[in-house]
Structure 1
Amino acid sequence: MHDFEDQKSLAVAYIGGGSLNWATKLMGDIAQDGTLVVDMRLYDIDFAAAERNARLGRRIAEAGRGKPARYTAHERIEDALDGADVVVISILPGTLETMASDIALPERYGIRQSVGDTVGPGGFVRAMRSIPMLAEIAQSIRACCPDAYVCNLTNPMSALTGTLYAVFPGIKAWGECHEVTKLRHIVAWLANRKAGSVSYSFRDVEVNVLGINHFTFVDRAVVGGVDMLQDYLDFARTHRASGWRATPIDPDNEQERCFLDHNMVKFDLASRFGIAAAAGDRHLAEFVPQTWYLDRNEEFGFGLTPVDYRMRERDEKRRVAAELDAGAPLPPLDVSEEALVAEIKALAGGAPHVTNVNLPNRGQLSGFAEGIVVETNARFSAGGIQPLHSGRLPEALELIVKPHAERQTALVAAVLEGRRDDLFPLFLGDPLVAPLGPDKAQDLFGQMVAATAEFLPEALKRAG
């Protein structure tokens, strides 16, 4: 990697470069940072979308705070990856229409899913179609830029980060997720209330993270040198039945309604296990039996996000992107809450940065087997990415978390090795699926595989 201090450009390959969410957010953060000199190569199976984002990236760079950024679109992944210092992966595994079947088919069998992209039947089948995609990307990285640092933003995070390492064991990859930020916001609010002034933001909250992606927990939350965990646990118990939001929900805001979260699942889990649940309620609810929360989502104040909303949101983003591409004024550039720019700068020789990421377990999470992808803190620096020892989950919670991690690891191996007969037992083992029993679960699995067959390798199309 080029030295950050000498201000040479960093070659960043963006796989999924036509993205209307993560790619443009990263462009804005680079422009607002004003120190990184970036040569970003955008690759997407939709080349026109990558070209549009390249044009948009140039406009964003010109509106930034100083250092230039170069944006180019590439029709071949090899050209985008050639000699890259950093690779970012944010792809949509299949289509939103395919994701709609991930939600709708299980619903016919009484299975409710609030997100459907990580665990449960939707997350499982999404992994089946996305693991081969990530395997191809990993092979291309090994061929074109084996020394690059690789950030995966695509869900299911644990399975896909594990895929990168299974295909290319020498890869320097991490999975990036912003869900823990939700807890950090609450802790910052509590610290400000305690101080009697707005003195802290979520960036001032240092947390010790344990768990797996979207089922993360925190046993230390330090603000201004003071551990606020007990304050948080007390607050969670007090608001366990009522919930809490920093601001009231706007009933006219469809996005707020579709992504509704009153933190009641977080507070309930904290009260049950004596440790702070960190991810958003919609994700947390899918890791435990449906009777805990999903059957009572209105009672627990969270939404089941409909895919048709995601489709409307996609269409609106396309409309806005087309207007910007036609010359409409750029909206004001805001710094996002994502950590990627700080991580890249640290790897390139800037100030070290500690944050929570997904990596194969090398002892950072006690009680979990070596190699299983877990989410804990890691230190980013010019020396690379060093996972930090986080400790161990409470025993009762570990008994819930560990089977998910083991199932995700086994799923990756079964898909990569084309062992379709091993897939259904793993599918049936998920706590949302198990209550169906083998016969109904087998019927559901067959229907879901058929619905996503166009994205599956031949060896898996007859699974189930």
Structure 2
Amino acid sequence: MTRRPVTIAYIGGGSLNWATKLMADLAHDTALAAHVRLYDIDHAAAERNARIGTRFAEVSKGTPAVYRAVPSLQDALTGADVVVVSILPGEFDDMAHDVDIPARYGIKQAVGDTVGPGGFVRALRSIPMMLPIAEAIRDHAPKAWVCNLTNPMSVLTAAMYHAFPGIRLWGECHEVTKLRHQVAWIANQQAGAQHHSHRDVQVNVLGINHFTFVDAIGLDGRDMLPAYRAFADQHGNSGWSPRAVDPGDEHDLYFMDRSRVKFDMYRRFGIPAAAGDRHLAEFVPQAEYLDTAQDWDFALTPVSYRIRDRTEKRARASALAAGEGAPHADRSDEALVDQIKGLMGLGDFVSNVNLPNRGQMDGLPMGTIVETNALFSSLGVTPLVAGRLPDALHDIVRDHAARQTDLLAAVVENRWDDLFGLFRTDPLVAPLPTDTARLMFHEMVQATSHHLPRDLLREAS
């Protein structure tokens, strides 16, 4: 059987998370013959991942992928069919400031990477990092398909379109998968057997990244929305997870989704929420969920845990690169390889992605980055009409989407005075007195100033 060759440029190729998921998925796949170029400002990390990729290639079910660490962005991009952008905007110390400084002012954040004060300042330092990447794609791989995995997803996807309007880019997020897993579990319980996986579940997605909802659910030709409604009503007060949460496991503690927030939003708005509780809670005023996170069965993830987890992942990665342990060609929950196959003409594929609004979501300005379904085919990435959210949710989404759009414009135009005004209107910041909010904003900016462009800082002074 002839395999479809594809050259993938991975920007952030020293990744300890998404890169190895891609390696496992390519090892599981039998349709592609991939050449993966790994580029990272930490070249040693990219070289380590190239060695890990070679180990995954050894257990491939199809044509083994070839991995190579390259020294420059141009080397990665030239001739690439697909570009994956997966970078960390700054260091975990920066993310700690994003979370810890607002906490001293009484603002709680479960994640702090999308909206709220943490997401806002993360965008300030990451937009200038993403713009030159998009410009390099314009110069060296203008026809490549580009997948952005980096948060804050909406703002950074828009930033890349701003730098290169002709970019063939989508933003990829797996949060909706959580709801699809729930629906597959419901169907399997009804059948009394494990007939279905989340890949069998179809949903119509509406929203913006990390604040997504679905108004239609299908499986095997059946309307699963009534069954999901009954499921949410049954577990609304107790929560639900596919297995028992291990109280001694930090990952379970911080990342196991009990869905109490999802179920409550369904009851409030009449439409199932798709993203995880930790993200959903940050889009609404703090008093609704974050103040009583423990009562809603979710945790505020401390950056100290992320740092410990990174240390452990580095140790495992180093061991794997050195030939220890055994890589497995196990398929992950990620959709990227299926999306690539769709674009390469190996079967159409539908999944939720972040794209500029071209009419797929009613009531939001054209060009606003929205998250809906899109069709991946040899014709490209085609957004599918999603419709409109209920009015109460539409108003929340419109407010956040407008702030994200205006934030990008203020950064690229060096309009510092507009930035605080936008920061001030976020639902988590709005309850603070103006003078207090201004102090917090300047403290956060100073903490990340080494990542901000000089022109922006000059405007601030």
TM range (shorter): over 0.9
Aligned to 1:275: 271
Q: How does 1:249-328 map to 2 (within 5 A)?
A: 249-328=245-324
Per-residue deviation, 1:10: 1.1
Per-residue deviation, 1:6: 5.9
RMSD of equivalent CA atoms: 1.2
Q: State whether structure 2 residue 62 is matched by structure 1 residue 50.
A: no
How far apart in 1 are the matches of 2:159 and 2:328? 38
How far apart in 2 are the matches of 1:198 and 1:270? 27
Aligned to 2:136: 140
SS of the residue 1:435 aligns to: coil
Q: 2:175 aligns with which of 173, 179, 202?
A: 179
Aligned to 2:369: 373
Residues 56 and 328 in structure 2, CA contact (< 8 A), matched pair in contact too: no
Residues 192 and 199 in structure 1, CA contact (< 8 A), matched pair in contact too: yes
Per-residue deviation, 1:187: 1.0
How far apart in 2 are the matches of 1:395 and 1:329? 52
Per-residue deviation, 1:75: 1.3
Q: How does 1:10-409 map to 2 (within 5 A)?
A: 10-409=6-405
Contiguous gaps of at least 5 residues in structure 1: none
How far apart in 1 are the matches of 2:191 and 2:28? 30
How far apart in 1 are the matches of 2:428 and 2:4? 50
Q: State whether structure 2 residue 426 is matched by structure 1 residue 430.
A: yes
How far apart in 2 are the matches of 1:348 and 1:203? 20
TM-score by length of 1: 0.97
Per-residue deviation, 1:8: 5.1
Contiguous gaps of at least 5 residues in structure 2: none
How far apart in 1 are the matches of 2:66 and 2:132? 26
SS of the residue 1:298 aligns to: helix
In structure 2, what residue type is equivalent to 1:333? A
With 192-201 and 353-362 compared, the bigger mean Cα shift is at 192-201
| Partner deviation per Cα, 1:61-100 (whole Å, 9 max, x = no partner) | 1111120211111111011101211000000000011100
How far apart in 1 are the matches of 2:415 and 2:229? 44
How far apart in 2 are the matches of 1:39 and 1:193? 41
In structure 2, what residue type is equivalent to 1:35? A
Matched residues, number: 460
Residues 93 and 129 in structure 1, CA contact (< 8 A), matched pair in contact too: yes
Residues 3 and 30 in structure 2, CA contact (< 8 A), matched pair in contact too: no
| Partner deviation per Cα, 1:256-283 (whole Å, 9 max, x = no partner) | 0122431000000000011000000000
How far apart in 1 are the matches of 2:196 and 2:325? 33
How far apart in 2 are the matches of 1:399 and 1:427? 18
Aligned-pair identity (%): 60
Per-residue deviation, 1:359: 0.1
TM-score by length of 2: 0.98
With 299-308 and 197-206 compared, the bigger mean Cα shift is at 197-206
Residues 61 and 329 in structure 2, CA contact (< 8 A), matched pair in contact too: no
Runs of 4+ with deviation above 6 angstroms: none
How far apart in 1 are the matches of 2:26 and 2:331? 9
Q: State whether structure 2 residue 446 is matched by structure 1 residue 461.
A: no
Residues 39 and 70 in structure 2, CA contact (< 8 A), matched pair in contact too: yes
